A and B are shown apart, each in its own frame.
Chain A
């Protein structure tokens, strides 16, 4: 059975997969409905509420082909992805140790948890004005806001994950001679890994939301700006609705690709969760 699996090409295997086929059918059905909805404006005499006002998928596809030839469109992808990647990476680099430190040390937790909890409910976008003033360039302020979007989620997940590790694991390790450092490395770290990946996947989603909004607000001046958010905004200002939809779908795709990537890395680094 294993041999057979290895011989069939990956693509063929993908199309034989029930879940994958269902997903493809669902997306196709959605696109078809959308097309019908926006082409006919009304179904059996009833006005279609929103779809009627949106460009049909065929028009969007035509526009996409056109937009795909502009370097500016790809530049937008590049800029947004770069911001997301940087903000997210910094959030991981600071957030994971910060969350772990709060989890394992009660003094550290006592000191940093209250301010953290007060700052956490502030939506990242509420930081935009302050960060534009605070950071020297627009680029930095967008990145800072992006960072905040992922940071809180990552910290909360890491903290929660590390605190909910079963004490039996720690005790078992201790009675086999584990030092504090061993406990941290061999129990707390792997035990928190699932929560780290959950935090990362959720944080990644928030990062895309935030970066787009940040780009829309900051505009496309000489110093920074641009990106997919700005692409949507300027298309809207220019009244090109097809392009607005192209921008929206681009973001959807970008978000989907980045979360899939995180899930895939999680899948690779946690073999014990891949059952059978």
Chain B
């Protein structure tokens, strides 16, 4: 069952250190996990533990110091459209309209006929509900719309893996919920391979097929969980006993990790606060 071809991505004993000889900081240490094809793998971890660094490694923006990352069986050697990232902060080009942003990738590569591209772009912009904002610039969109535009821009490239780095961070609670529902439906309609990084546990549980909990810095996999909530899902399912059990278990581990960083004086107490409030 755990045949290697089931895995879209494989991370094998990856270590990443920043800094020069005098001041080194190991952010990722001996990290190993795999991302199953056509599944959503959620990654949670305390704030500042190195999640974005893991994303940068997966996407090929950073090279591991040790270990290896395989994408579809081939080593990742640099950024490519096979592993596309939707960034934590919006990375829509401010000088391009929604439509121009969405068509940016295909136009650059010239791998789609103009008519086909136009049709595909308009369809995707429709899917994310931005038809009326097709010719608006990013600054004219609300935070939630920007996130959706960015999703559209990633989707049109049909990446092998979509990597989302805390894509809904910074949105207000209501918009965040709407985006989660939207994203859930998007994932369930078509099968895609997704890596979804977040520091919100509930978000991770409701979206994920499998859940990876990262340890405090230097980060590695602290716990792997299979989330077997039935699909299609909705946000109400978070209050079901099963979901509650997943949440309780994960929270315990996260709390421990957060506490470590707190004692270590790494200054990540915002995470601790957030979770002790939820109690």
A residues contacting B by CB (< 8 A) are 166, 168-169, 171-178, 182, 186-187, 190-191, 193, 270-272, 275-276
Contacts and interface: CB of A to CB of B under 8 A. Distances in A.
A166 B95 CA distance: 13
B8 interface: no
Q: Please indicate which of the listed interface residues B78, B83, B87, B96 has the most CB atoms of chain A within 10 Å of its own CB.
A: B87
A96 to B, nearest CB: 17
Interface string B48-92: 000000000001110000000000000000111101110101010
B93 A171 contact: no
Interface residues of B, dominant DSSP? loop
B139 interface: yes
B81 A177 contact: yes
Contact of A186 (B84, B91, B108): B108
B95 A190 contact: yes
B94 A175 contact: no
Contacts of B105: 176-177
A169 B90 CA distance: 9
B140 interface: yes
B137 interface: yes
Nearest to B81: A177
Nearest to B138: A272
28 contacts: A166-B91, A168-B89, A171-B61, A172-B87, A172-B91, A172-B93, A173-B93, A175-B79, A175-B80, A175-B81, A175-B85, A176-B81, A176-B84, A176-B104, A176-B108, A176-B157, A177-B108, A178-B108, A187-B93, A190-B93, A190-B95, A191-B95, A193-B95, A270-B95, A271-B137, A272-B95, A272-B138, A275-B139
A276 B140 contact: yes
Interface of B: 59-61, 78-81, 83-85, 87, 89, 91, 93-97, 104-105, 108-109, 137-140, 157
A275 B94 CA distance: 12
Contacts, number: 67
Nearest to B97: A272
Contacts of A175: 59-61, 79-81, 83-85
Contacts of B79: 171, 174-175
Contact of B137 (A186, A187, A272): A272
Contacts of B60: 175
Given A272-B94, A275-B140, A276-B140, A176 B109 contact: yes
A172 B85 contact: yes
Contact of B104 (A166, A173, A272): A173
Nearest to B56: A171
A169 B94 CA distance: 9
A187 B140 CA distance: 20
Contacts of B157: 176
A141 to B, nearest CB: 40
B208 to A, nearest CB: 23
Q: Kindly list the 3 A-B residue pairs having the minimum CB-CB distance in the complex, ordered from nearest.
A: A176-B105, A168-B91, A272-B137
Given A172-B87, A193-B95, 6 more contacts: A168-B87, A174-B78, A176-B105, A177-B109, A186-B93, A272-B94
B111 to A, nearest CB: 8
Nearest to A178: B108
Q: Please indicate which of the listed interface residues A172, A174, A182, A272 has the most CB atoms of chain B within 10 Å of its own CB.
A: A172
A196 to B, nearest CB: 13
Contacts of A276: 140
A218 to B, nearest CB: 43
Nearest to B88: A168
Nearest to A189: B95
A152 B60 CA distance: 38
Nearest to A271: B137
Q: Please indicate which of the listed interface residues A176, A270, A272, A276 has the most CB atoms of chain B within 10 Å of its own CB.
A: A176
B104 to A, nearest CB: 6
A175 B77 CA distance: 12
A193 B93 CA distance: 13
Contacts of A178: 108
B146 to A, nearest CB: 13
Contacts of B109: 176-177
B140 A169 contact: no
Contacts of B87: 168, 171-172
Q: Please indicate which of the listed interface residues A174, A177, A178, A191 has the most CB atoms of chain B within 10 Å of its own CB.
A: A177
Contacts of B137: 271-272, 275
Nearest to B82: A175
A171 to B, nearest CB: 5
Contacts of B108: 173, 176-178, 182, 186
